[in-house]
Amino acid sequence: MLATEKVQPTRKLPWRTATVREIIEETPRVRSLSLDIPDWPGHRPGQHVDIRLTSDDGYQAQRSYSIASAPEAAELLVTVERIEEGEVSPYLSSEVIVGDKFELRGPIGGHFVWSAFMTEPLFLVAGGSGVAPLMAMLRHRAAAGNKNPALLVYSSRSFDDIIYRKELAALAARSDGLKVVHTLTRQQPAGWTGEKKRIDPEMLSRVGFSPKEQPRIFICGPTQLVESAARALIELGHDAGLIKTERFGPTGA
């Protein structure tokens, strides 16, 4: 191939104006925003959007946020965790009010996606707000009536930091093949009998699907959690080609 090719841009993915319809308090540090986006083309579970904020003096900051809602849902949801000192997340997770508008483009990404047509076991591993795109998959799975085995292993700092806690419990109570395993790494409520260490090979082999079942694996969250979980699953014998990852950056859980 040519060492360097100069190429012309296409304009396939326009910036649209999103309007905040509703704000849902998920945890003390996390909010979901229900967005109204004219001519939204629909999305696949696992995809994200780019959000661009412009200040009065014209300065722009752009970040990616996963779509947390199912394609079947009427509204588009993003779930944003507050990173202190961050440029974009403090606005989206704390300061934003209903009726605010900002620019958004999407849906984006064709690799980290799952569809309820897939019949292999679904093995999801999340840390903190990394649960957002996996929630889109689980909401889609429920809406589509997919009953194949599915497992979410989800690491949070504390009980109160569990995002979508009630909805996850409700999804797991449908007896449609979904199991949710929480691990609380910093603080556990009195009487907690669940997991309390960081996700590691021992936990994944004990609670997870075996490599023989060839689950489709999606791991999402802070970069370090994603890398250690992916490494652990490969160590346990899972095919690297079946593992898809979405690193959110240093953002910690």
Partner 1 sequence: MSEKPLPLDGNSAAGLLSELFAVEITGASITCDGCHHAAPIGAARLYGGRMGAVFRCAHCENVVVRLVRTPEGYWLEMKGARSLFVQARGD
Ligand X SMILES: Cc1cc2nc3c(=O)[nH]c(=O)nc-3n(C[C@H](O)[C@H](O)[C@H](O)COP(=O)(O)OP(=O)(O)OC[C@H]3O[C@@H](n4cnc5c(N)ncnc54)[C@H](O)[C@@H]3O)c2cc1C
Which residues here bind partner 1, judged by CB under 8 A?
A: 1, 3-13, 48, 50, 62, 64, 105-106, 108-112, 223-224, 241, 244-250
| 32 beta partners | 24, 79
> Which amino acid belongs to residue 195?
E
38 within 8 A of 16, measured Cβ to Cβ: yes
Measured in whole angstroms, how far is the alpha carbon of residue 176 from the centre of its chain? 21
The sign one gets for the Cα dihedral 35, 37, 43, 46 is: negative
Strands 60-66 and 48-54: antiparallel
Other Cβ atoms within 10 Å of 119 Cβ, number: 11
Q: Which partner in partner 1, ligand X, none is near 3 (CB below 5 to 8 A by kind)?
A: partner 1
Question: Of 19, 86, 158, 223, which lies in the binding site for ligand X, with binding defined by CB under 6 A?
Answer: 86
- Which one among 9, 38, 58, 250 touches ligand X, defined by CB under 6 A? 250
DSSP reduced 3-state for 197:
coil
Shortest spacing between CB 146 and partner 1, in angstroms:
19
Which residues are CB-contacts of 149 (< 8 A; sequence separation ≥ 6)?
121, 122, 177, 179, 209, 213, 215
Select from ligand X, partner 1, none the partner in contact with residue 251, using the beta carbon and a kind-dependent cut-off of 5 to 8 Å.
Answer: ligand X
**Which of ligand X, partner 1, none does 81 bind, CB closer than 5 to 8 A by kind?**
ligand X
Q: Which does 252 bind (CB under 5 to 8 A by kind): partner 1, ligand X, none?
A: ligand X
Q: Please, where are the H alpha helices in 123-242?
A: 131-144, 165-172, 201-207, 223-235
Using the rule CB under 6 A, which residue among 34, 129, 156, 245 binds ligand X?
129
Partner whose footprint covers residue 7, from partner 1, ligand X, none (CB < 5 to 8 Å by kind): partner 1
CB 169 within 8 A of CB 179: no
Q: Is 102 in the site for ligand X (CB under 6 A)?
A: no
Residue in 89, 156, 183, 185 binding ligand X, rule: CB under 6 A: 89
Site residues, ligand X (CB under 6 A): 48, 63-66, 78-81, 83, 85-89, 129, 132, 246, 248-252
